[in-house]
Amino acid sequence: MNAAERPSHRAIPAHERLIVALDCAGPEDARQLVRTLGDAVGFYKVGLELFCRDGAFSLVRELRDAGHQVFLDLKLFDIPATVAAAVRNVRTHGARFVTVHASRRVLEAACAEQDDLGVLAVTVLTSFDAVDLQDLGYPPTVTAEDLVLQRAHTALAAGCAGVVASPLEARRIRAAVGDGLAIVTPGIRPAGTAGEDDQRRVATPRAAFEAGADYIVVGRPIRTAPDPRAAALAIQETIAAHF
Ligand code: C5P
């Protein structure tokens, strides 16, 4: 399926706009969280923590068989041929998205292997602030937002399904690329405050969608809530009110 044939992210059911990160110690903990959330959540992200355990792909297939959408947050980054081969292998699992770091030739190679599985370009991690960028060698004049915008243009040109960025950049990405890319935003904190953990560029669910996000990714604010299902339902109510 090419980009033109893929279903528009503007027509996503409201219920699928919340993606819950299954950052769990192992597949059994993830299954328990999925059972707890029940019908409050229809889209799950499986990431590095689970992929470093046995059984992650069995879990992915179970989620698909149960009717959930799945996002494989593998954050692939290697030479173009290796990333292309990895995308070809993971597209057999019936997932909706896979993440690839936003480097032009790597994205182009990954996108050539897209099918029903869409490639999301990771722009600048939402845990990064100005100090992290300088540690990577960027001059102080280069902001996270500048880099995100540049990488969003690269993702669009490469044919990606979307980008992963913080909600703080969503408005500028939307203005720059229109509906050409799905905008997926982690860094969601229902209280809207940064500095409580490793995330730095954060916003509330409502602010993310007002800025133009298509999907939000939420992990700890749901997983560690006293009542995870109630926390997920509260976010779903915000989403339903917005769309
Ligand atoms: O717990 P929290 O809500 O911070 O989880 C955010 C999730 O989104 C984590 O699984 C993290 O790996 C992922 N993510 C991110 N920033 C990106 C890409 C993915 O936080 N740029």
Domain boundaries, the chain: 9-242
pLDDT for res 194: 73
Q: Is 45 a catalytic residue?
A: no
Angular region, 45: left φ>0, alpha ψ -120 to 50, beta rest: beta
Residue with tokens 């490793």: 198
The fold of the 9-242 domain, in CATH, is TIM Barrel (3.20.20)
CA-188 nearest atom, ligand 1: 3
Spell out, as residue ranges, where the chain has pLDDT lower than 50: none
pLDDT for res 6: 56
Binding site membership of 220 for ligand 1 (Cβ less than 6 Å):
yes
Binding site membership of 124 for ligand 1 (Cβ less than 6 Å):
no
pLDDT for res 192: 72
| CB of 213 closer than 8 Å to CB of 238 | no
Residue with tokens 């133009």: 212
Binding site membership of 194 for ligand 1 (Cβ less than 6 Å):
no
pLDDT for res 116: 92
What whole-number distance in Å separates Cα of residue 86 and Cα of residue 160? 16
Q: What is the pLDDT of residues 10-63, one digit of tens each?
A: 689 999 999 999 999 999 999 999 999 999 999 999 999 999 999 999 999 999
pLDDT for res 8: 65
**The model's pTM:** 0.95
Q: Pick the catalytic residue: 68, 75, 88, 229?
A: 75
CA-223 nearest atom, ligand 1: 1
pLDDT for res 191: 81
| Ligand 1 centre distance from Cα of residue 14 (Å) | 20
What whole-number distance in Å separates Cα of residue 130 and Cα of residue 140? 7
Mean of all residue pLDDT scores within the chain: 94
Binding site membership of 185 for ligand 1 (Cβ less than 6 Å):
no
